[in-house]
Chains A and B, each alone.
Chain A
Amino acid sequence: MIEFKNIKKSFGDKVVLDDVSHIMETGKANLIIGQSGSGKTVLQKCLVGLFEPNSGEIIYDGHSFTDMNVDERKELRQQIGMLFQGSALFDSMTVEQNIMFPLDMFTTKTFSEKLKRVNEVLERVNLEDINKKFPAELSGGMKKRVGIARAVVLNPRYLFCDEPNSGLDPQTSMVIDKLILDITREFNTTTVINTHDMNSVMEMGENIIYLYEGKKEWTGNKKDIIFSDNKLLNEFIFASEFLQDAKDMRMLEARGKISDDRDMGKMLKGDKLD
């Protein structure tokens, strides 16, 4: 569990995070959603210590990250895996070397043991026979999967994903979402995901925090979103007419007004229901 209380962060005069508090639960996909520039990435970078908040407290399973010294933070970070927006794979290393890097740095395993572990995680992310390829030779989706493999190779307790679907087609996005969700359940990690992809929100949103201009505007789960009357959230989530229609249908369906596909067709055409 990761708890953060009253996080404030500003760059010069610009306040990016203003008094944000929330609890990220273990074994769940915790989503931070919001428009571009709403402070999602800054919040995530504050949580992992890449940015120092101006005030507030971050607590990892009862241990205050804010009060930790450099060595204690280094120790904790070995339990953190992170998937970056651009995958952040090391260009000069092969896929195998990329995934093996944390093992080389922090374990005393033999080469064959490390190779076995690399192959295990590669298999887990459904990638095979790419050990000797360089990141430049991989597609966007493959890079993300290698990024996930590197993030989980040390069995982290906390997994952070910064816009895991950016630049991917909807089908590949779903594969990545499912993979993150499966890993979260399988290894019981506290997973924190930054996204503004609505498919991801509806697929994975077990604990969602919506940021608006640096403030926590709304919190709930994917079911709550449909019935939320928060104007700002609705404008963000159901930005397109298609999604607005989908929401209306879900609400009518839930209230029992749509009985079959025929009614749904009428609804889409804009006809009145019987």
Chain B
Amino acid sequence: MLFFNHFGRYILMIRGMFTRPENMRMYWKELMHQCVEIGIGSLGIVIIISVFMGAVSAVQTSYQLVSPLIPATTIAQIVRDTVILEFAPTVVCIVLAGVVGSKIASELGNMRVSEQIDALEIMGINTKSYLIMPKIAACLLTIPMLVVLSMVLGILGGRLAGTATGIISTDAYDMGLLMNFIPYNVFFALVKAYTFAFIISTIPSYYGYYVKGGALEIGRSSTKSVVVACVMILFADYILAALLLDKS
């Protein structure tokens, strides 16, 4: 019952966002502000994670390929496909669920507890529309861009680690990258990125917007929102893989 209660309120929250904006210019300003906060704000962590993710996967792939019959170019292919299919969209989005999700939940929670949301309501502003919609739109705009950036940096990280440790030459790595490339994988990764971006923005918004109590509850709801968002990302990851990568 509790699940349906939460799910119903979550759907109502999303439905409540779609009203005519009171002032389009102010909404645009808020959207740009959120794009900077979410997109530029997460850039550092995404760069670090992506480079190391690619580097580690190159080293570990090489460690597992013991047969001399397997060419070195295979390392590049495996790094490319794992980064594009799983690491860039899923791992980066799980990290972003922590970084962005907790920020959204605590920001909205603090606004709720300190009556700032009530103050906006009294002014005649649709707070779901003004506070939540720009966050969702900003996530949908910036997170797929971060995922694409992560793909590039992950592959570059693998190349750097491969050459630095002498596992694979740059020429072999570059050749491996071009072999058996399936563009559909990028499409699949972007579908995942958009889906996860929606989860990362809406679930913490829900927990933050409806928080009750004080500072302690803000912390709790922020943590809960991250946990639920991560679980939902993993669940959606499986569903999308089953639906979109089915070869039968």
Most A C-beta atoms less than 10 A away, residue of B110, B114, B123, B125: B123
Say which residue of A50, A85, A91 sits within 8 Å of B122 (CB atoms).
A50
Cβ–Cβ contact B124 & A77, under 8 A: yes
The A-B contact count (CB < 8 A) is 55
A78-B23 Cα distance, complex, nearest whole Å? 13
Q: Flag A70-103 by CB within 8 Å of B: 1 or 0 each.
A: 1001111110111011101111000000000110
Cβ contact within 8 Å between A80 and B122: yes
- Does B122 lie within 8 Å of A82, measured CB to CB? yes
Q: Number of contact residues on B: which range applies?
A: 10 to 19
Q: Which residue of A lies closest to B125 (CB)?
A: A105
Q: Which residues of chain A have C-beta atoms less than 8 A from B116's C-beta? A: 88-91
The CA-CA distance from A101 to B25 in the complex, in Å, is 12
CB B217 to nearest CB in A, in angstroms, measures 16
Question: How far, in angstroms, from A81 to B124 measured CA to CA in the complex?
Answer: 10
Closest to A90 in B: B116
Q: Which of A98-124 contact B (CB under 8 A)?
A: 101-102, 104-106
When the two chains form the complex, which single residue of B19, B23, B114, B122 contacts A77, counting CB atoms closer than 8 Å?
B122
Q: Is there an interface contact between B124 and A78, defined as CB atoms closer than 8 Å?
A: yes
**What's the interface size class on A, roughly?**
20 to 34
Query: In the complex, are the beta carbons of A75 and B124 less than 8 A apart?
Result: yes
Name which residue of chain B comes closest to A49, CB basis.
B121
Say yes or no: is B171 at the interface (Cβ < 8 Å to chain A).
Answer: no
Q: How far is the CA of A78 from the CA of B121 in the complex (A)?
A: 10
Q: Is A59 an interface residue (CB 8 A)?
A: no
A interface footprint on B124-139 (CB within 8 Å = 1, 0 otherwise): 1110000000000000
Query: Which listed residue, B114, B115, B123, B126, touches A78 by the CB 8 Å rule?
Result: B123
User: Residues on A close to B: CB < 8 A?
Assistant: 48-50, 70, 73-78, 80-82, 84-86, 88-91, 101-102, 104-106, 160
Chain B residues with CB under 8 Å of chain A are 19, 22-23, 26, 110, 114-116, 118-119, 121-126
**Pairs across A and B, CB under 8 Å, 18 listed:** A50-B118, A50-B122, A73-B124, A74-B124, A77-B122, A78-B124, A80-B122, A81-B122, A86-B114, A86-B115, A88-B114, A90-B116, A91-B116, A105-B26, A105-B123, A106-B22, A106-B124, A160-B122
